[in-house]
Amino acid sequence: MDNIPRHLWLRPPAGELIDEVMCCRERGGYLLTLHGGPAIRRAVERELHTAGFSAGQCHPFGEGVFAARTLSLLPEARGAAAVGLVLEAAGQVDALRAALDEPSAIPSLLEDSSNARFLFNPPRVQLWGPVNAGKSSLLNGLCERELAATGAEPGLTRDVIEGRFEHQGFEIRLFDAPGVWSGGGALDADAQRLAEVWRGQADLTVHLCPPGREAAPVADGWLLHSMADQDPAAPEPRISLYNAASLAAFKDRLIEHFFGPLRRLPPQRRFALHPQLREDLGNSPHAARGWLD
């Protein structure tokens, strides 16, 4: 058991299910949130006491300004791993105190943890490429939902379509877009202009290169050879809806890109998750001392 909430079923060694709960590590003990009412709570407490556990003092909203305001981010955290990082950060008030005692190190601390914003506002990934490059199919496959219409007709997608998926406990926002081509009419041109606007808001653009197309140099974002099942000789990186390993590898790569640097930091360097705390630390470390109250 760690600081990422887990869904558990509480059942005594010999007996029927008592309740479904969420459980995580919390301040040296365990925090349980129950599904049932007072009678269920008494039954759970009785079984835990029999198993050698004792009730602890619970402070679900923190014991100080820093913990309370950090925990207030929980409703905004997207994904189980993001929730775990918020819970971890709430216990790092000593790390905040140490940072304030050495303000010259604050800029590097903030830079190292800059991707913390993605815990609450998931990164935007824009799929891009020519018509019939498999963008809509890839959106559906990665999100495991039928979000966009697919077919052989070029220019079938005339709007920006959003999907989301959670992987390794983190959430990614994925956007389909009209394909780039010169064979459309005025409506297709309008769709392209809209797509360009949305592309400008993306945190990462993934350029799809389908079979039969020569890969053009990519100045921004990633190049990905799509529909690789139709071209076994396609170079890496490549992806196919019919190859689950390639889908998983692409998701792994996205998570590493956006969240890997944050995950590799020690807890003492990834405590500054709250946007206001980050602003205070960046602009006025003296004002940030109010977080120690």
CA 272/CA 51 separation, integer angstroms = 37
The 10s digit of each residue's pLDDT in 62-104 is 578 999 999 999 999 999 999 999 999 999 999 999 999 999 9
Q: Indicate whether 278 and 241 sit together in one domain.
A: no
57 in a structural domain? no
Q: Indicate whether 78 and 44 sit together in one domain.
A: no
What is the structure's pLDDT at 257? 98
59 in a structural domain? no
Quickly state the pLDDT bin for 194 (edges 50, 70, 90).
Answer: confident
What is the structure's pLDDT at 59? 58
pLDDT of 220 above 70:
yes
Q: Indicate whether 130 and 251 sit together in one domain.
A: yes
Bond into 237 cis (ω within 30): yes
What is the structure's pLDDT at 94? 95
Q: Which domain holds residue 34?
A: 6-50
Q: Across residues 248-254, what is the average pLDDT?
A: 98
Sheet with 161-167, edge to edge strand ranges = 161-167, 170-176, 124-128, 204-209, 222-225
Helix H or strand E encompassing 101: helix 93-101
- The domain total for the chain is 3
Which of 101-105, 108-112, 176-180 shows the lowest mean pLDDT across its residues?
Answer: 176-180
Q: Indicate whether 254 and 270 sit together in one domain.
A: no
224 in a structural domain? yes
Q: Indicate whether 163 and 224 sit together in one domain.
A: yes
Higher pLDDT among residues 127 and 180, named by residue: 127
Residue 96, class by beta-carbon neighbours within 10 Å (0-12 exposed, 13-18 middle, 19+ buried)?
A: buried
Q: Indicate whether 188 and 274 sit together in one domain.
A: no
CA 256/CA 262 separation, integer angstroms = 9
Tokens read off for 177: 């877009």
Of the spans 4-18, 21-35, 130-144, which averages the highest pLDDT? 130-144
What is the structure's pLDDT at 76? 94
Q: Indicate whether 131 and 205 sit together in one domain.
A: yes
Express as a percent the part of the chain with pLDDT over 90: 52
Each residue of 2-11: b (16+ CB within 10 Å) or e?
ebbbeeeebe
Q: Indicate whether 255 and 128 sit together in one domain.
A: yes
C-alpha distances (whole Å) from 251 to each of 115, 124, 200 are: 17, 13, 22
Quickly state the pLDDT bin for 158 (edges 50, 70, 90).
Answer: low
164 in a structural domain? yes
Asked whether 87 and 70 are in contact (CB, 8 A), the reply is: no
- DSSP bridge pairs for 21: 8, 34
What is the structure's pLDDT at 140? 92
194 in a structural domain? yes
Of the spans 176-180, 181-185, 193-197, 200-204, which averages the highest pLDDT? 200-204
Please tell me whether residue 127 adopts helix, strand or coil conformation.
Answer: strand
151 in a structural domain? yes
274 in a structural domain? yes
**Mean confidence (pLDDT) of the chain:** 87
pTM: 0.79
What is the structure's pLDDT at 92? 95
What is the structure's pLDDT at 151? 58
HSE at residue 151, side-chain half, CA atoms within 13 A, is 6
What is the structure's pLDDT at 156? 56
The 10s digit of each residue's pLDDT in 19-42 is 888 888 776 788 888 877 888 888
Q: Indicate whether 166 and 238 sit together in one domain.
A: yes
Q: Indicate whether 148 and 249 sit together in one domain.
A: yes
Contacts of 109 (CB under 8 A, 6+ apart): 99, 269, 272, 281
Residue 156, class by beta-carbon neighbours within 10 Å (0-12 exposed, 13-18 middle, 19+ buried)?
A: middle
Q: Indicate whether 154 and 247 sit together in one domain.
A: yes
Q: Indicate whether 288 and 218 sit together in one domain.
A: no
245 in a structural domain? yes
